[in-house]
Amino acid sequence: MSCDIKIRTFLDSHLIGEGSIILVHSAFKNLSRQGWKAEAFIEGVLAHIGGGTLLMPAMSWRSVNRDFPIFDELVTPSITGALTEVFRLSFATARSLHPTHSVSGIGALSSHILGAHHLDQVPVGRNSPHARLADADGRILLLGVEMDSCTLVHQAEGELAPEIYLEAEIEEYTGIRRDGSRIPLRTRRTKRLLRNFWQFEEELGQLGQVRYAEIDGVFSRSFSAGAMNRLVMQRLTEDRLACVAKPGQRAKMM
């Protein structure tokens, strides 16, 4: 089976087709070991969604910090995997201006989804690409990674219980746009806590709203960003500590 057919079959399994709006979190190394090239994979996805919008995280929280408080839209590398860096460098036409949690993208809605991130003073606020993806009812695809990679969950944390999930200090940075102009950026950092995001996948899955598929043995899951966001908001409204792992639950420090 050709790569193009594999990609089409794979994306169809995730309800991703012409005009879809998708955010891909990924670990590409296992596909790379089987001969897949990041460029070919991205080209296949773009061909399948046609006039849709493709987004990928382009985070930089390790390299942009108090010692180096400069975020350059074109230069600052992504630390979220090889696929995201190839996408940022060779395909994306826009990148949200945030010093630690930027997202890059291409497609019909990329400017709208990415265009206001700099207005937030939290990593994943109401103006973030993740929140706007949820508002547009786009889809999140986790390729070779699990729910701990789902940045969207942090949006509800920061909106409903910032004192629990965010550091109090507001850090100041300089952002450099593609045209070379500079703007001030301000953000709080996400607290490192023992979190359980898998509970939300399980609950959404029980409602039949999580899709699972494999491509050359690499496992993936996908779901509506809007449905996931509404679920997490509801759980945090009921219990502000809902994202914090309880004893005996699956957890990760993040």
CB-side exposure of 33: number of CA atoms within 13 Å?
A: 7
Binned at pLDDT 50, 70 and 90, residue 203 comes out as: very high
Q: Which is nearest to 227 in space by CA: 139, 168, 158, 147?
A: 139
pLDDT above 90: residue 3: no
Sequence spans of domains, the chain:
3-240
Looking up tokens 């786009």 gives 138
The CA distance from 8 to 180, in Å, is: 38
pLDDT at 238: 98
pLDDT at 2: 81
pLDDT tens, 209-228? 999 999 999 999 999 999 99
Contacts of 29 (CB under 8 A, 6+ apart): 82, 144
* Average pLDDT of every residue of the chain: 97
Beta-bridged to residue 147, according to DSSP, are none
Q: Which two tokens stand for residue 199?
A: 């509970």
As a whole number, mean pLDDT of residues 79-103 equals 98
Are 123 and 189 in contact by the 8 Å Cβ rule? The answer is: yes
Q: Which two tokens stand for residue 156?
A: 């509800």
pLDDT tens, 140-165? 999 999 999 999 999 999 999 999 99
